[in-house]
Amino acid sequence: MKDSSPSDTNPLNWYDVPLFFARPGKALYYVAVQTQDRPGALATVIGVLQRESFNLIHVSMSEIGDGYAVGHLYGEGNAPGISTALEERLRASGIVRNVRVEEGRDGLLIGRALPLRLRDPRLRATAITSQYLISTLDTLREEMGSGGATLVYRQGLDLGRNAWTRHAALLGGMENVRKHFGYLLEGLALTGYGRPTLLDIDPKEGTAHVRFSESIECMGRELSNPYSQFFRGYFAGTFSAVFDVEMSCVETKCSAVGAEACEFEITRKEAARAGAPS
Ligand SMILES: [Zn+2]
């Protein structure tokens, strides 16, 4: 691999999913609190914990609807065996509706706010490494040749189409997706696949160009031809859903062939057939 992800150098882009913490010799605690979703609720919880000399390591907050939010706090307590005391202090604060405190084991603490939930309650996020995903796709292509590449493209196509159909359902219709499509597309970075930028879009003509930096599929390779099949499919599926017509996608620049980022040209399927073959 010739490079690593440039965004890793900016700490403001970091978002840790705490699988576990290790601080040998320390008393570590996980605190889950359900509070009213109002300003200052989390600050009050943190204030109570601070008075117990609780040293916060990680915190995340989710709104769960019905006027409530859930906070997940991980930190170091002032001594072992104080779970019950922390729970009582938090209950006495009057701000929490539910609370659960768990102590780790000998300076080890595992994350409890898992599996990660997605907005669509039928789905949940599964954390696998990019290396695992890509090696699975590579194996398909190596074992099955062009048939494997087609399969990988199909996988991407289905993923893109289904993802954007779901986004539309959550956002109240595809019209709302189209309104802020470039912005929403940038949200793909959160999945760890890479960082897309919408360069241009012409809904009338049915064309678009996307720049895709740090693609897990192409980054670090040195090849003589554009390599992407999965994300080529993903963008074809994405724009098919967004334009509501079958779209084709061609990778016109590829980081595996020396470009700074991969680029994709998306056109209507009939237009692609009439023009240059893809
Ligand atoms: Zn590429």
What residue segments make up the domains of the chain, in order of their start? 18-113, 124-274
Laid out side by side, the sheet with 55-65 consists of: 55-65, 68-76, 28-36, 96-103
Contact in structure between 116 and 124 (CB atoms under 8 Å): yes
pLDDT of residue 250: 98
Q: 56: which residues sit within 8 A by CB, 6+ positions away?
A: 46, 49, 73, 74, 75
pLDDT at 125: 83
Q: 128 or 144: which carries more pLDDT confidence?
A: 144
Distance between Cα 93 and ligand 1 center (Å) = 54
CA 9 from centre of chain? 18
Given this model, what pLDDT does residue 4 score? 46
CATH architecture of 124-274: 2-Layer Sandwich (3.30)
Encode pLDDT of 147-199 as tens digits. 999 999 999 999 999 999 999 998 999 999 999 999 999 998 888 899 999 99
**Residue 262 Cα to ligand 1 middle (Å):** 4
Q: How many CA atoms lie within 13 A of 127 on its CB side?
A: 9
What average pLDDT score do residues 32-56 get? Answer: 93
207 alpha carbon – ligand 1 mean position (Å):
19
Q: How far is the CA of 278 from the centre of ligand 1 (A)?
A: 15
Cα(219) to ligand 1 centroid in Å equals 7
Task: Break the chain down into helix, strand, coil percent, rounded to 5.
Answer: 40, 30, 35
Report the separation in Å between the CA atom of 113 and the middle of ligand 1, taken as the mean of its atom positions. Answer: 35
CA of 120 to the centre of ligand 1 (A): 30
Say what the pLDDT of residue 1 is: 39
- For 15, other C-beta atoms within 10 Å of its C-beta total 7
Indicate the average pLDDT of the chain: 90
Total H helices, total E strands in the chain: 7, 12
Give the CATH superfamily of 18-113. ACT domain (3.30.70.260)
Single-letter amino acid code for the residue at 44: T
Cα(138) to centroid(ligand 1), Å: 14
Question: How high is the pLDDT of residue 271?
Answer: 65
239 pLDDT above the threshold of 50:
yes
What are the start-end ranges of the E strands in the chain? Answer: 20-22, 28-36, 55-65, 68-76, 96-103, 108-110, 116-117, 124-125, 195-202, 207-213, 247-253, 262-268
**What is the spatial distance between Cα 59 and Cα 49, in angstroms, rounded to a whole number?**
12
Q: Do 124-274 and 18-113 have the same topology in CATH?
A: no
> What distance in angstroms lies between residue 257's CA and the mean position of ligand 1's atoms?
8
Q: Indicate whether 69 pLDDT > 60.
A: yes
